[in-house]
Chains A and B, each alone.
Chain A
Amino acid sequence: MFGSITAIGMGLAVIGAGIGIGQIGGKAMEAIARQPEAVGDIRANMILMAALVEGAALIAIVVAFLSNAA
Chain B
Amino acid sequence: MRRYILGFVCLLCFSIFSIAQEHGHEQPTAEPHGDSGCGEPEHGEFNPGETAFHHISDQNIYSIGPFHLPLPCFLYAPDKGWSVFSSGRFHADAHGNGHMAVDGYVLVEGMVRRIMDAGFPAAEVEVGHHPYLQKAKGADGKEKEIPFVCYNSQLYQTEAKSTADGGLFGGGITSFYDFSITKNVVSMMLILALFAWMFISIANAYKKRDGMAPKGVQSFIEPIFLFIQDEVAKPFLGHMWEKYLPFLMSLFFFILGLNLFGQIPFLGGSNVTGNLAITMVLAIITFLVVNFNGNKHYWEHILWMPGVPAWVKTILTPVEILGVFIKPLTLMLRLFANITAGHMVVVIFVGLIFLFGKSGENAGASYGTAVGSTLLTLFMMSIELLVAFIQAFVFTILTASYIGAATEEAHH
Contacts and interface: CB of A to CB of B under 8 A. Distances in A.
Contacts of B240: none
Given A47-B394, A47-B397, A58 B231 contact: no
Contact of B334 (A40, A44, A51, A66): A51
B393 interface: yes
Given A58-B334, A66-B168, A48 B326 contact: no
Nearest to A56: B330
A70 B341 CA distance: 23
Interface string B319-363: 000000010011001100100000000000000000000000000
Interface residues of B, number: 15
A55 B283 CA distance: 14
Interface residues of A, number: 15
Contact of B168 (A51, A59, A65): A65
A17 to B, nearest CB: 11
Interface in B360-410: 390, 393-394, 397-398, 401
A40 B168 contact: no
A69 B144 CA distance: 11
Nearest to A61: B337
Contacts of B231: 40, 44
A67 to B, nearest CB: 12
B135 to A, nearest CB: 14
Contacts of A66: 168
B167 interface: yes
Nearest to B395: A51
Contacts of A40: 231
B373 to A, nearest CB: 23
Contacts of B398: 48, 51-52
A52 B326 CA distance: 11
A69 B231 CA distance: 41
Interface in A12-65: 40, 44, 47-48, 51-52, 54-55, 58-59, 61-62, 65
Contacts of A54: 330, 334
Interface string B157-169: 0000000000110
Contacts of B394: 47-48, 51
Given A47-B393, A47-B394, A48-B398, A55 B168 contact: no
A69 B397 contact: no
Given A65-B168, A69-B168, A59 B397 contact: no
22 contacts: A44-B397, A47-B390, A47-B394, A47-B397, A48-B397, A51-B334, A51-B397, A52-B398, A54-B330, A54-B334, A55-B330, A55-B334, A58-B330, A58-B333, A58-B334, A59-B326, A59-B329, A59-B330, A61-B333, A65-B168, A66-B168, A69-B167
Interface of A: 40, 44, 47-48, 51-52, 54-55, 58-59, 61-62, 65-66, 69
Given A59-B329, A59-B330, 12 more contacts: A44-B231, A44-B397, A48-B394, A48-B397, A48-B398, A55-B330, A58-B333, A58-B337, A61-B333, A65-B168, A66-B168, A69-B167
